[in-house]
């Protein structure tokens, strides 16, 4: 499976891959929900880097309040080997297999689009990296949008022992650094569109206002890969 025909859009720290046949309404519902849930989690739990568990709990609860039904929720701490993040790491392996997600292909497509745009790298350096004096914290989420709509979310967080530049972040997207402990969170969600319908217009208006005040989205388009 490849994802080079998927369009890519950044929402905060999330890299969202969307298939070409996704319905416009499904696309809008998923993106509005994702952006709202990020904002609400920040409001309720504080800084994601300082309170990762509380933030993740608030994030899950925000989706549930919007009528997204969670089918999977995983959290693992692993130390990466020479091959980086592997789909052999259970129970993540089971999740990738059940959801038919090709991790390497997904990351490759995401990295190609982000690394091909200086603006994309700068966006993620702003939302997915917290720079400190001699190190940095990184937390980036890969989001795969499916019909229904559905969302498969996989966030990867780690600490870099050096400040993260554009080049360092681009390299990490292509291949996560080895011998680093990472926190992995995976979540699968399906939207109850009937229950969501009554909230759609208000959510759209709120997200549009928030986006005007403090933009969190950046459209990167479809891969140029042939």
pLDDT at 67 over 90: yes
- DSSP for 87-137 reads TTSTTHHHHHHHTT--HHHHHHHHHHHHHT-HHHHHHHHHHSEEE-SS-EE
Given a cut of 80, is residue 86 above it in pLDDT?
no
Give me the percent of the chain exceeding a pLDDT of 90. 73
Average pLDDT estimate for 65-87: 80
Domain 7-222 adopts which CATH fold?
Answer: Delta-endotoxin CytB (3.40.198)
Query: 122 vs 76, which has greater pLDDT?
Result: 122
The pLDDT value given to residue 91: 74
The pLDDT confidence band at residue 49, using thresholds 50, 70 and 90, is: very high
pLDDT digits (tens, 9 = 90+) for 138-165: 999 999 999 999 999 999 999 999 999 9
Q: What residue spans define the domains of the chain?
A: 7-222
Q: What is the pTM of this model?
A: 0.93
Query: What is the CB neighbour count within 10 angstroms for residue 97?
Result: 10
């Amino acid at each position: 499976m490849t994802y080079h025909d998927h369009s890519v859009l950044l929402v905060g720290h999330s890299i969202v891959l969307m298939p070409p046949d996704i319905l416009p309404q499904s696309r809008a519902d998923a993106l509005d929900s994702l952006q709202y849930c990020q904002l609400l989690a920040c409001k309720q739990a504080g800084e994601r880097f300082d309170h990762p568990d509380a933030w993740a709990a608030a994030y899950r609860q925000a989706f549930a309040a919007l009528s997204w039904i969670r089918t999977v929720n995983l959290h693992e701490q692993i130390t990466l080997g020479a091959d980086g993040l592997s789909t052999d790491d259970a129970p993540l392996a089971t999740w990738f297999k059940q959801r038919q997600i090709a991790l390497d292909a997904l990351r490759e497509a995401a990295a190609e689009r982000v690394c091909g745009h200086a603006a994309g790298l700068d966006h993620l350096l702003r939302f997915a990296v917290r720079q400190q004096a001699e190190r940095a914290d990184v937390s980036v989420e890969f989001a795969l949008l499916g019909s229904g709509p559905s969302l498969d979310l996989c966030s990867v967080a780690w600490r870099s022992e050096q400040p993260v530049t554009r080049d360092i972040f681009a390299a990490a997207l292509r291949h996560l650094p080895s011998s680093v402990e990472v926190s992995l969170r995976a979540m699968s969600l399906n939207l109850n569109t009937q229950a969501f319908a009554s909230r759609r217009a208000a959510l759209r208006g709120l997200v549009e206002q928030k986006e005007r005040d403090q933009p969190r989205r950046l459209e990167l388009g479809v891969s140029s890969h042939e």
